[in-house]
Amino acid sequence: MMLANDGIVVKHNYYGIISAMREELIEIIKCLKEHLELLRYSGITDVLYIKEEFCSACARHISGAAQGHGRADAEVFFVLGCPPKGQIEGQTGHFDGETGSQLQKIIQWMARVSKNERFKSAGDAYVSYAVKCPDAASCIDEAALACKPLLEKELGAVKPKVVVALGGAAALALTGSRDVKGLRGRAHVLGGAKLIISHAVADIIRNAELKKEAWADLELALEEISKAAV
């Protein structure tokens, strides 16, 4: 209750307010449950999720930046280019669509043949993006550089032993160059981790020659992942 200017006691419908809050809480719990089910389906059980509620890294000033998901202490960290358009709102995941399905197969294959006991399933990896907003396709290089501090925040939290960057945007964010051809085929040093750079998943699907190169890079990544277990 509250007093109006004339001293009359005004009663508010507190029950209505509480009921509305209860409905909102139920909806939040429902969305959270669905999100966790999606993560469990992907094999992710120990989850680190860093979300920027409001991102001002560039002129777009979006009300939420797409962040990665995965094991909080993952030894293997995959960096992709741009997130799917619905990823920020939780409508899509890393493994949705043709590209996501191929990415999942890649990570599952690597985990299956890995000699590192801490990387034996897709859920043991961490997957994130160089570009944090899905509307940045027209200026992807600018966005990758603007979003770099957010990616570095994730890398600092996870502290992986091996980082696998797939595509030019991911390479640009981590090395300052998007020359995948010139950067691939060898291990680079990224802080305390080894960095392997290869082609974007979409390019691997479309181009058989790039697919061969990518598999060679992934085998190199597996060597570094095995070394990290020692």
- Are 145 and 173 in contact, with CB atoms under 8 Å apart? yes
Domain-by-domain residue ranges, the chain? 2-32, 46-228
pLDDT at position 225 is 96
List, in sequence order, every beta strand (DSSP E) within the chain: 2-3, 9-10, 69-70, 76-80, 126-129, 162-166, 187-190, 193-198
Q: Which numeric CATH code is attached to 46-228?
A: 3.40.470.10
Note the pLDDT tens digit of each residue in 170-200: 999 999 999 999 999 999 999 999 999 999 9
* Complete DSSP assignment for 156-206: HHH--SEEEEESHHHHHHHHS---HHHHTTSEEEETTEEEEEE--HHHHHH
Quickly state the pLDDT bin for 9 (edges 50, 70, 90). very low
Span 110-114, average pLDDT: 95
- The pTM for the full model equals 0.74
